[in-house]
Amino acid sequence: MAKIELENASVSYFMRKMRGARTTSANGVVGAPIIVGSRYIEIAALRDISLSLKDGDRMGLIGVNGSGKSTLLKLCAGALAAQSGIVRIEGRVSPQFGLGSGLRPALTGRLNTELKCLYMGVPQRAIAQHVEEVKELSGLGNYFELPIQSYSAGMKSRFVMSLLRLVRGEILIMDEWINAVDPSLSARIGGLQTQLIDRAKILLLASHSRNVLEEWVDTLVWLEHGKLRMVGKVAEVYKEYDASLKKRVK
């Protein structure tokens, strides 16, 4: 059984206050609240978040940039610790937003894929097969055997998206939607994502796309300035969120 439970969880980032910096605690349209102390500046990324996800749940996150979506995803993935509150995670987590992290530019696509296999818990006996699957999916050919620092931006993007083949776990956490620019890769990556979502016991997805949210999630969470603004059905929450955005541009 997979489960994520947050009880009054709060996360802050701290920066040393620079001498002469003109920083106030006033809130803007975007970003988390800023709390100015005598020596440090606290960015209150999340405040008193309480959520519960269990087997079968499909939850989406919306909010303007800096509202706390990525921080909440990292908290639910176990990649961040809460300064206060309780976080319980049961089940194997697959954070899709970490696909491109930890790559070593001086190593080849093959060696980077092997390291990624080890990091993602692929059994030793299955690594060779998974590496070949990533190579075939990427379509990089002989470039797969060259250091990734020699790749163009498009080639590196293909390589990173092809690592989706390695994702496995009961809890799937996705930050936005992977969109392959190359049409030859888009359909295959989309198919992989569909398979992963169908297999996952819990899905937590952040996206700005109403179409994506309506297709894949049942419950929508609206974050604003690091706090829960609204939780409910996708259509209901998105309607209120969209109305809020329109008021801001008037």
pLDDT per position as a tens digit, 2-34 = 999 999 999 998 887 666 555 555 555 555 677
Residue predicted with more confidence, 198 or 168: 198
Residues 32 and 105 in one domain: no
pLDDT value for 175: 84
CA dist., res. 210 & res. 242, Å (int): 10
Average pLDDT over residues 234-240: 96
Percentage of residues in the chain with pLDDT exceeding 90?
60
- CA max distance for the chain: 59
What pLDDT score was predicted for residue 30?
Answer: 55
Instruction: Answer with the residue of higher pLDDT: 30 or 229.
Output: 229
Q: What share of the chain is helix, strand, coil (3-state, %, to 5)?
A: 40, 30, 30
Number of domains into which the chain is organized: 2
**Same domain as 81, residue 7:** yes
Q: What is the reported pLDDT for 95? A: 81
Using DSSP's 3-state secondary structure scheme, residue 103 falls into: coil
Q: Are residues 45 and 136 in the same domain?
A: no
∠ CA 76-78-83, nearest 5°, is 85
Of 184 and 175, the structure prediction assigns the larger pLDDT to: 175
How confident is the model at residue 23, as a pLDDT? 53
Is residue 127 domain-shared with residue 197, that is, in the same domain? yes
Assign residue 87 the CATH number of its domain: 3.40.50.300
Q: What is the length of the chain?
A: 250
Of 64-73, 87-96, 110-119, 186-195, the poorest mean pLDDT is in 186-195
Summarize pLDDT for 78-116 with one digit per residue, the tens.
Answer: 989 999 999 999 999 988 776 788 899 999 999 999 999
Give pLDDT tens digits for 122-170.
899 999 999 999 999 999 999 999 999 999 998 998 899 899 888 888 9
What's the sign of the alpha-carbon dihedral 174, 177, 227, 68? positive
- For the chain, the average pLDDT equals 88
Residue 86's domain comprises: 3-95+206-248
- Tell me, yes or no, whether 234 and 113 share the same domain: no
The model's confidence at residue 216, banded by pLDDT at 50, 70 and 90, is very high
Residue 182 confidence (pLDDT) = 66
Per the CB < 8 A criterion, the answer to whether 86 and 7 are in contact is yes
Dihedral (C-alpha) 87, 89, 94, 99: value to the nearest 10 degrees?
A: 20
Which range, 59-63, 79-83, 173-177, has the best average confidence (pLDDT)? 59-63
- Mark whether 63 and 75 lie in a shared domain: yes
In 3D, which of 95, 110, 80, 74 has the Cα closest to residue 168? 95
Give φ, ψ of 101 to 5 degrees: -80, 150
